[in-house]
Amino acid sequence: MSIQTQPGRVTAPQIRARKGGEPIVSLTSYHAHTARIIDPFVDFILVGDSLGMVMHGLETTIPVTLDMMILQGHAVMRGSSHALIVVDMPFGSYEESREQAFRNAARVMKETGCGAVKLEGGERMADTIRFLTERGVPVMGHVGLTPQSIMALGSFKAQGREEKDWGPIERDARAVADAGAFAIVLEAVAEPLGARITREVAVPTIGIGASPACDGQILVLEDMLGLSERVPKFVRKFGSLADHIREAVAAYAGEVRARSFPAPENTYAMKKG
């Protein structure tokens, strides 16, 4: 059991209180090692269901299971001590009923020790978000492009690129905020809709492919590090980790083939006598 009070860790109410203030910084992480590295620099870490695509090479996030989210959520908790940890509820784990959502969100909280969960959907999920928040589950909303709806949408594409499409997205954001979410991810929404929603809702908006006016930003860590093979248009590569890995692995392969690795300092000498 990993449940313990952790003094010093960022809480959902603290993120909520950052509305209109200093930008909220966040990234995804799926493992203890990456969580340990990013923890001092971010306000919250999202254990995103994008792990299915990024870690497992899946085409969509649809096959991701609650057990996968719990396993990686627990790893990220062990690797971090400062940031709020938010765990994505995967497709099929919360849409059926408010009761199903609570049962599975409670399992995620009990088995990982995380401080909040995130679920996709606007007006249609408002009752569920209210049910969870009234029962002690901090919920982060997620509107705009909702990747778990890929099969209904047809492709991953930006939302609200025509003014006639703005109304439903604005209503989604308002419904999620009014239902008690402590923050809302706005994914791939055209400008100036992201800025408009940020002005209209009372809780922080966290943009990914949205506006610089959002109250915070998030990216998939492997995308911004230059480790992902294909990335959405909204990504900026702040690093080139794939190149670093290729260089290191090529050097290792060369030394193994030349028998210059391992060197004497990497091997064990016999004990004296």
Ligand X SMILES: CC(C)C(=O)C(=O)O
Ligand Y SMILES: Nc1nc(=O)c2c([nH]1)NC[C@@H]1CN(c3ccc(C(=O)N[C@@H](CCC(=O)O)C(=O)O)cc3)CN21
What are the residues binding ligand Y (CB under 6 A)? 50, 53-54, 61, 145, 147, 155-158, 188, 209, 220, 223, 228, 232-233
Q: Should residue 88 be labelled a site residue for Mg ion when binding is judged by CB under 5 A?
A: yes
What is the nearest approach in angstroms of ligand Y to the Cβ of residue 232?
A: 4
What is the nearest approach in angstroms of Mg ion to the Cβ of residue 48?
A: 4
Choose the one of ligand X, ligand Y, Mg ion, none that binds residue 140, judging by a C-beta under 5 to 8 angstroms depending on kind.
Answer: none
Nearer to ligand X, 6 or 95 (CB): 95
What is the nearest approach in angstroms of ligand X to the Cβ of residue 46?
A: 6
Choose the one of ligand Y, ligand X, Mg ion, none that binds residue 175, judging by a C-beta under 5 to 8 angstroms depending on kind.
Answer: none
Q: Should residue 48 be labelled a site residue for Mg ion when binding is judged by CB under 5 A?
A: yes
Q: Should residue 39 be labelled a site residue for Mg ion when binding is judged by CB under 5 A?
A: no
Nearer to ligand Y, 113 or 146 (CB): 146
CA–CA separation, 79 and 82 (whole Å) = 10
Nearest C-alpha neighbor of 156 from the set 232, 56, 49: 232
Tokens of 265: 């300092």
Q: Should residue 48 be labelled a site residue for ligand X when binding is judged by CB under 6 A?
A: yes
Binding residue count for Mg ion, defined by CB under 5 A: 3
What is the nearest approach in angstroms of ligand X to the Cβ of residue 164?
A: 25
Provide φ and ψ at 20, rounded to 5°: 75, 5
Is 187 a known active-site residue?
yes
Q: Please state whether the peptide bond connecting residue 262 to the residue before it is cis, i.e. omega within 30 degrees of 0.
A: yes
Q: Does 247 count as an annotated binding residue?
A: no
Q: Does 149 count as an annotated binding residue?
A: no
Nearer to ligand X, 68 or 208 (CB): 208
Q: Should residue 222 be labelled a site residue for ligand X when binding is judged by CB under 6 A?
A: no
Q: Which is catalytic among the residues 187, 200, 229, 247?
A: 187
- Judged by CB under 6 A, which of 137, 218, 224, 227 binds ligand X? 218
Choose the one of Mg ion, ligand Y, ligand X, none that binds residue 116, judging by a C-beta under 5 to 8 angstroms depending on kind.
Answer: none
CA–CA separation, 53 and 199 (whole Å) = 33
Residue type, 132: L
Choose the one of ligand X, ligand Y, Mg ion, none that binds residue 232, judging by a C-beta under 5 to 8 angstroms depending on kind.
Answer: ligand Y
Angstrom distances, CA of residue 95 to CA of 62, 98, 122, 142, 152: 13, 8, 12, 14, 15
Print the SS3 string covering 75-96.
Answer: HHHHHCCCCEEEEECCCCCCCC
- What residues are annotated to the active site? 187
| Interface positions with Mg ion (CB under 5 A) | 48-49, 88
Annotated binding site for 3-methyl-2-oxobutanoate: 49-50, 88, 118
